[in-house]
């Protein structure tokens, strides 16, 4: 539905986004970090996340080329709709962002396989964003329904990913270093693609193979901060010292090693190169931005308008993970909500176009693999919306960004990208 006046910015915005995604694809970033096979034992592959299937494929291709695929086994858990064909590494699909029965089964099997690893084996854990929901192993006394309800409450509260994962770690039998403890004394190597601000290993997938510096008290404080009243079983679990996570220096983590293979910073750099080649000066606001999506959208609009007034031809890029405090009944994720708030604040200013999208290819919505990755804003966005009878302010109040951008043809169709290094936001200013 692109109009001739906006086709060029749309095309460039999409190329910028595609460059960010390509830089973090497992076929590119994973092979240099894959370990040699153990001298006599097995290479047992376990993994979870939105990139898990592609990481499994890259692992198989690597060891097939070496002629050693027969010594590789294992399974990974990915989001529904993200599976890929594999030979020896099984792919399980499970629920995200709310865990389902397959999330429980995947976590159970991962713990069981880790326990069975022998001292000659090497456990290779392939970790990426989304693993917190895809591996769900509630602690004793917490039912699956209570864990699901809490996850939904956290998602609606506007809590940041680090805060959410502080709670998740303390309600899990696999997170907070407990998978590595299950594998001990076998050697364990985690190769991770980061989707979290600051690239903290304890936050990526809620850190199933690393020490957790947070406490049960901090988990309780998160719920209090966001006025979430937990069920009786959740409250009891967060009061029980037996559910404390492994801390730095724990002997059970002595044989565990961790490597980051891709992070948002490299994807932002790849995106910036495309914009620079198109003649834009570059301003990168950082790869770890957090905050309420609509607030950040308005703030970025002010930056763009200031650059426009100064006569700068500028590309403003940022990464990180914004949040939405859900108060309405509409559909859409944080990137679409950011884009809607940005459009309202720009008020149709000429020469300013933007894209905000999740690098995993899916931004909120119904949780289906067919959901859009985000949305595009161009100077005539509000004008076309008015023609269609769409009220941007009312739709923002209803958290209905998908309902706004959909009829305009301004959603970003994508599908699973097989990676996940968080969100990408780019604003192009042409004076």
Q: Which residue has the higher pLDDT, 330 or 375?
A: 375
Average pLDDT over residues 125-133: 93
For the record, the structure tokens of 172 come out as 């899990």
Please tell me the predicted confidence (pLDDT) of residue 366.
64
Please tell me the predicted confidence (pLDDT) of residue 6.
47
Please tell me the predicted confidence (pLDDT) of residue 7.
52
Q: Which residue has the higher pLDDT, 5 or 421?
A: 421
Please tell me the predicted confidence (pLDDT) of residue 4.
34
Question: Looking at the predicted structure, is the pLDDT value of residue 205 above 50?
Answer: yes
Confidence bin at 313 (pLDDT 50/70/90): very high
Please tell me the predicted confidence (pLDDT) of residue 2.
37
Please tell me the predicted confidence (pLDDT) of residue 3.
36
What are the DSSP calls for 146-190, one per residue?
HHHHHHHHHHHHT--HHHHHHHHHTTBSSTTTHHHHHHTTSEEEE
Please tell me the predicted confidence (pLDDT) of residue 419.
94
On the 0-12 / 13-18 / 19+ scale of CB atoms within 10 A, 247 is middle
Please tell me the predicted confidence (pLDDT) of residue 5.
39
Just give the CATH number of 4-22+265-429: 3.40.1480.10
Question: Looking at the predicted structure, is the pLDDT value of residue 208 above 90?
Answer: yes
Instruction: Please list the alpha-helical segments (H only) found in 310-400.
Output: 334-346, 381-387, 392-397
Average pLDDT over residues 398-407: 95
Confidence bin at 388 (pLDDT 50/70/90): very high
Q: What is the overall mean pLDDT for the chain? A: 93
Question: Looking at the predicted structure, is the pLDDT value of residue 137 above 50?
Answer: yes
Just give the CATH number of 26-262: 3.40.50.10180
Enter the DSSP assignment of 35: P
For the record, the structure tokens of 117 come out as 């690893």
Please tell me the predicted confidence (pLDDT) of residue 405.
97
Give percent of the chain above pLDDT 90: 84
Please state, in angstroms and as integers, the Cα–Cα distance from residue 87 to each residue in 36, 42, 73, 106, 270, following that order. 19, 16, 9, 19, 32
Q: Could you tell me the pTM of the whole model?
A: 0.88
Please tell me the predicted confidence (pLDDT) of residue 127.
97
The helix or strand, by DSSP H or E, that contains position 357, with its residue range, turns out to be strand 352-358
Q: Which residue has the higher pLDDT, 133 or 89?
A: 89
Average pLDDT over residues 393-410: 96
Tens of pLDDT, residue by residue over 259-268, are: 999 999 999 9
| Domain residue extents for the chain | 4-22+265-429, 26-262
Say which range, 129-133, 295-299, 422-426, has the weakest mean pLDDT.
129-133
Confidence bin at 364 (pLDDT 50/70/90): confident
Spatial neighbors of 309 by CB under 8 A, at least 6 apart, are none
Question: Looking at the predicted structure, is the pLDDT value of residue 411 above 90?
Answer: yes
């Amino acid at each position: 539905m692109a109009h001739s006046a906006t086709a060029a910015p749309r095309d460039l915005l999409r190329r910028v986004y595609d460059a960010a995604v390509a830089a973090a694809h497992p076929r590119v970033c994973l092979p240099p970090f894959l370990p040699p096979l153990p001298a006599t034992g097995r290479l047992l592959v376990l993994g979870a996340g939105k990139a898990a299937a592609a990481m499994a494929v890259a692992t198989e291709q690597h060891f097939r080329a070496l002629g050693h695929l027969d010594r590789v086994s294992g399974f990974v858990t990915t989001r529904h709709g993200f599976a890929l064909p594999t030979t020896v590494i099984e792919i399980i699909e499970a629920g995200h962002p709310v865990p389902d029965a397959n999330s429980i089964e995947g976590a159970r099997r991962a713990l069981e396989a880790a326990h069975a690893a022998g001292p000659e084996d090497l456990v290779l854990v392939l970790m990426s964003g989304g693993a917190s929901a895809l591996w769900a192993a509630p602690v004793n006394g917490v039912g699956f329904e209570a864990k699901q309800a809490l996850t939904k409450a956290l998602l609606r509260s506007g809590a940041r990913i680090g805060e959410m994962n502080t709670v998740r770690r303390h309600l899990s039998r696999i997170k907070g270093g407990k998978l590595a403890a299950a594998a001990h004394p076998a050697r364990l190597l985690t190769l991770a693609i980061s989707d979290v601000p600051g690239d903290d290993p304890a936050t990526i997938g809620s850190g199933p193979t690393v020490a957790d510096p947070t406490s049960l008290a901090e988990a309780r404080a998160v719920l209090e901060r966001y006025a979430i009243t937990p069920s009786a079983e959740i409250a009891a679990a967060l009061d029980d010292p037996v559910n404390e996570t492994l801390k730095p220096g724990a002997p059970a983590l002595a044989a565990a090693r961790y490597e980051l293979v891709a992070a948002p910073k490299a994807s932002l750099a790849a995106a910036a190169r495309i914009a620079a080649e198109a003649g834009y000066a570059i301003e990168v606001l950082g790869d770890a931005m957090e905050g309420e999506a609509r607030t950040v959208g308005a703030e970025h609009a002010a930056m763009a308008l200031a650059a426009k007034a100064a006569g700068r031809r500028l590309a403003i890029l940022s990464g990180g993970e914004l949040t939405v405090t859900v108060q309405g009944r509409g559909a859409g994720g944080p990137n679409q909500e950011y884009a809607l708030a940005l459009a309202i604040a720009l008020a149709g200013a000429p020469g300013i176009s933007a894209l905000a999208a999740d690098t995993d290819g899916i931004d909120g919505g119904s949780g289906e693999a067919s959901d859009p990755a985000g949305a595009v804003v161009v100077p005539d966005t509000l004008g076309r919306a008015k023609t269609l009878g769409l009220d941007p302010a009312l739709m923002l109040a209803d958290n209905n960004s998908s309902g706004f951008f959909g009829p305009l043809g301004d959603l970003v169709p994508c599908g699973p990208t097989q990676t996940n290094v968080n969100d990408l936001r780019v604003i192009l200013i042409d004076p």
